[in-house]
Amino acid sequence: MAEAKAFDPTDCCVIILTWDAIPQRCGMVQFNTIPYLEDRGIPRANIHSVCLRWIPVARNWAIKNVGLTSGKRHIVMIDNDMPIDGKANPFWEATDDVVVCMAGTAERWSFANAFHSGMFRADRRVFEDIEPPWFDLPASADGTVQTDCTCGYFRDKAVAASFSITHAGWCAHP
């Protein structure tokens, strides 16, 4: 595995997912998200929003059609309802193939390679090396029980492909 590159704000593509399944939030972004990203040195032209309904399809579509086609090295995904402030700063300083900003209870992050996708970034190599779909919603064989979140599906594929996941910084998820 090649060395993961330190984050370069000018060589990143930020995708904000604005889920059209949630009428109150469709197309909307937290007020401070864009100024925060610009404060981190990310040019406005590198920040995109994608408004699609089905969670795994929205993530896969955005990675394929926005992240990878951007030509940028670092692909960042942020849910539109993530309130982000200075507690998230270590997220940008960590160096790994996949870096995730923690949200929710500490217990969700208590094991190695724990991953939830409210705010994360990955080196483009991760998506180039792993066969899509990168995200899916795992269910029991008969389709009656959801067995993991879409994040768990990605985590398992990333770890199987020998990528590692670093947890850094905190953002809240309402």
Catalog residues that contact Zn ion under the rule CB under 5 A: 116, 149, 151
Rounded CA-CA distance 24/163 in Å is: 36
Nearer to Zn ion, 51 or 149 (CB): 149
Residue 117 in tokens: 């996708």
Q: CB of 100: closest distance to Zn ion in angstroms? A: 10
Nearer to Zn ion, 50 or 102 (CB): 102
Q: CB of 112: closest distance to Zn ion in angstroms? A: 16
Q: Which helix (H) or strand (E) holds 121?
A: strand 119-123
Rounded CA-CA distance 163/165 in Å is: 7
Nearer to Zn ion, 43 or 104 (CB): 104
Nearer to Zn ion, 67 or 152 (CB): 152
Q: CB of 118: closest distance to Zn ion in angstroms? A: 8
Nearer to Zn ion, 60 or 70 (CB): 60
Strands 74-79 and 47-50: unpaired
Q: CB of 150: closest distance to Zn ion in angstroms? A: 7
Rounded CA-CA distance 161/155 in Å is: 10
Rounded CA-CA distance 144/16 in Å is: 31
Strands 98-102 and 119-123: antiparallel
Q: CB of 117: closest distance to Zn ion in angstroms? A: 6
Residue 64 in tokens: 């394929």
